[in-house]
């Protein structure tokens, strides 16, 4: 059975989604057809339709709204690649029309809005998937398998720290405005997801944040206002008792920096930047000595580790410890995996890997770094998810009220 899909939002990520679909098609694993595209800007939708025609062999029809597309096409699912503040109204409309939804990260602008989307999926019994791509990198899959197999013993510390981007616009100017979804939230949500992916639920977070650049320079040299934090420093406590060290600088000058690592009582695992294909660095503690393990030795520790068939087809092997590929191909492959999971969830009537509830957690946790500073104390995931702690987010909703 071939599912019928529509794509909403034909900007930067919408076009990357079409490239992801093309990877699935090349791998002979596309279980859906892209029948429609939609953007508020007609020329963007036309451009996406052109790209799809070139890459997918068939031109999707162009629409100006969900209602129009739904009336013309018997849709099974849609993907939403609009800015975060437009995810929820569109998603709820689709779910209530009986259509499954995959929404780009972050699930919504605020936790309160994200909960509306999750509730709509629950009420309608439709699938709600969050397109979170970083964890699907084969290297992160191996990292998780090694941690789960006890390769570093009992983990007691995780580090997620990075510095990049300087004073420039990161992809689009809206990412520097709080009410559109500031850059710490837009980017950091990948990292709260991966911390929980690797080490399980986070119980509490604390943070301090700053705005380094109150203006950002676009590619044409034009300056854009920036009222969103671009530096976040914090800590987390996992339910397991492990602690996490958090730093996200999107204003980094000088040397770029990325460090993701898990330290346990049996060694350490250093995990490379996502989408680079670089190998893990696993160092195990044996008889009081620290011994680095080769890629072959890493794989030998997880004899049952195997990538799912679609990931294996896209990356060329079931058991990978590193790979070499152009960034654009890696990026498209990870999006292809998201689509395969979304289609599989619909066809097999199972939960997608990253559900609405999972997407809501990663959003709540990244806001935790900002909310905690308002309160001057650590905040729990439970309080963030229940809405008990929401002062920072309330201001965003007051600034840009959403239709309910
Ligand atoms: N996973 C990743 O690696 C990654 C990378 C980039 C962006 N993203 C996510 O993708 C989403 C989009 O980001 P982007 O960089 O493509 O933004 P963008 O501004 O380039 O594109 C968004 C598009 O959505 C359109 N749009 C807005 N409201 C709409 C509506 N109601 N119906 C139809 N179209 C509408 C806009 O006109 C615009 O063309 C965001 O949630 C972002 O966080 C994820």
Render the burial of 105-128: b for 16+ CB within 10 Å, e for the rest.
Answer: bbbbbbbbbbbbbbebbeebebbb
Which residues on neighbouring strands pair with residue 252, listed in sequence order?
Answer: 165
How far is ligand 1, taken at its centre, from the CA of residue 25, in Å?
23
Strands of 10-69 (E only): list them: 32-38, 61-63
Question: Scanning the structure block, which residue is given the tokens 């301090």?
Answer: 208
Closest CA to 107 of 345, 363, 370: 363
Q: Which domains does the chain have, with CATH numbers?
A: 3-134 (3.40.50.720), 136-321 (3.30.360.10)
Sheet (strand 3-8) strand order: 61-63, 32-38, 3-8, 77-80, 100-104, 128-131
DSSP state of 196: H
Looking at residue 100, what is its pLDDT? 98
- Ligand 1 center–CA 41 separation, angstroms: 12
The label of the residue with tokens 């030795």 reads 297
Alpha helix segments (H runs only) across 149-302: 183-199, 295-300
Ligand 1 atom closest to 10 (CA): 39
- Distance between first and last Cα of the chain: 35
pLDDT at 404: 40
Task: Return the bridge partners of 246, or none.
Answer: 160, 234
The atom of ligand 1 lying closest to the CA of 131 is 1
CA 84 / ligand 1 centre spacing (Å) = 7
Report the relative pairing of strands 3-8 and 77-80 from DSSP bridges: parallel
344 lines ligand 1 (CB under 6 A): no
Query: Do 246 and 233 form a contact (C-beta atoms < 8 A)?
Result: yes
331 CB near ligand 1 (under 6 Å): no
CA pair distance 181, 75, nearest whole angstrom: 29
Question: Which pLDDT score is estimated for 297?
Answer: 98
Taking the centre of ligand 1 as the mean of its atom positions, its distance from the CA of residue 43, in whole angstroms, is: 15
Ligand 1 atom with the shortest distance to the CA of 90: 31
The answer to whether 141 and 186 have CB atoms below 8 angstroms apart is no
DSSP one-letter string for 355-380? BHHHHHHHHHHHHHHHHHHHHTS-EE
Rounded to the nearest angstrom, the distance between the alpha carbon of 10 and the centre of ligand 1 is 7
Residues linked to residue 61 through DSSP beta bridges, in sequence order: 36
Report the pLDDT value the prediction gives residue 165, as an integer from 0 to 100.
94
For residue 166 the two structure tokens come to 């300087």
CA distance 83 to 185: 13
Nearest CA to ligand 1 atom 11: 81
Atom of ligand 1 nearest to the CA of 89: 31
Q: 40-44, 49-53, 242-246, 396-400: which range is least confident on average?
A: 396-400
Q: How far is the CA of 375 from the centre of ligand 1 (A)?
A: 31
- In whole numbers, what is the pLDDT of the chain averaged over residues? 97
Give the Å distance between the CA of 13 and the centre of ligand 1.
6
Report how far ligand 1's centroid is from the alpha carbon of 352 (Å).
21
C-beta 114 within 6 A of ligand 1: no
Summarised one tens digit per residue, pLDDT across range 229-262 is 999 999 999 999 999 999 999 999 999 999 999 9
Q: Is the pLDDT of residue 400 over 80?
A: no
Q: pLDDT confidence of 403, banded at 50, 70, 90?
A: very low
Q: Answer whether residue 315 shows pLDDT above 50.
A: yes
- Give the predicted TM-score (pTM) of the model: 0.97
* Whether residue 52 has pLDDT greater than 90: yes
Whether 94 is in the pocket of ligand 1, judged by its Cβ within 6 Å, is: no
**pLDDT one-digit tens code per residue, 164-213:** 999 999 999 999 999 999 999 999 999 999 999 999 999 999 999 999 99
Decide: helix, strand or coil at residue 172: coil
Q: Is the CB of 10 under 6 A from ligand 1?
A: yes
Give the residue carrying structure tokens 């899959």: 141
Binding site membership of 11 for ligand 1 (Cβ less than 6 Å): yes
Q: How far apart are CA 337 and CA 5, in angstroms?
A: 16
Measured CA to CA, the distance from residue 143 to residue 82 in angstroms comes to: 31
Please indicate whether residue 82, judged by its CB atom, sits closer than 6 Å to ligand 1.
yes
């Amino acid at each position: 059975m071939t599912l019928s899909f529509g794509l909403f939002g034909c900007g930067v990520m919408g076009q990357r989604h079409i490239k992801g679909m093309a990877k699935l098609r090349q791998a002979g694993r596309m279980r859906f057809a892209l029948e429609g595209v939609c953007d508020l800007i007609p020329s963007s939708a036309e451009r996406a339709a052109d790209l799809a025609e070139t890459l997918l062999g068939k031109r999707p029809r162009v629409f100006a709204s969900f209602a129009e597309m739904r009336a013309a096409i018997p849709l099974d699912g849609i993907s939403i690649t609009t800015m975060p503040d437009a995810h929820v109204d569109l998603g709820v409309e689709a779910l209530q029309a009986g259509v499954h939804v995959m929404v780009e990260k972050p699930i919504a602008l605020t936790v309160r809005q994200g909960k509306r989307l999750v509730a709509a999926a629950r009420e309608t019994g439709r699938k709600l998937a969050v397109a979170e791509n970083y964890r699907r990198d084969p290297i992160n899959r191996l990292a998780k398998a090694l941690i789960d197999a006890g390769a570093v013993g009992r983990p007691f510390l995780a580090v997620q720290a990075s510095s990049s981007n300087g004073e420039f616009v990161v992809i689009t100017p809206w990412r520097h405005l709080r009410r559109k979804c500031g850059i710490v939230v837009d980017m950091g949500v990948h990292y709260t997801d991966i911390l929980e992916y690797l080490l399980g639920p986070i119980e509490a977070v604390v943070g301090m944040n700053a705005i380094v650049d109150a203006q950002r320079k676009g590619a044409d040299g034009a300056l854009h206002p920036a009222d969103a934090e671009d530096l976040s420093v914090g800590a987390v406590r996992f339910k397991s008792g492990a602690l996490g060290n958090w730093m996200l600088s999107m204003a980094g000058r000088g040397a770029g920096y990325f460090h993701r690592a898990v330290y346990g009582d049996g060694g350490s695992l250093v995990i490379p930047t996502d989408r680079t294909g670089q190998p893990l660095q696993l160092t195990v503690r044996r008889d009081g000595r620290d011994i680095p393990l080769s890629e072959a030795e890493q794989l030998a520790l997880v004899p049952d580790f195997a990538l799912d068939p679609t990931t294996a087809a896209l990356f060329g092997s079931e058991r990978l410890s590193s790979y070499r590929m152009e960034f654009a191909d890696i990026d498209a492959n990870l999006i292809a995996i998201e689509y395969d999971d979304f289609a599989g969830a619909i066809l097999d009537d199972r939960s997608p890997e990253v559900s609405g509830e999972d997407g809501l957690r990663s959003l709540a946790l990244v806001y935790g770094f900002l909310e905690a500073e308002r309160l001057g104390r650590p905040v729990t995931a439970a309080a963030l998810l229940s809405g008990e702690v929401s002062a920072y987010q309330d201001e965003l909703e007051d600034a840009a009220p959403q239709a309910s």
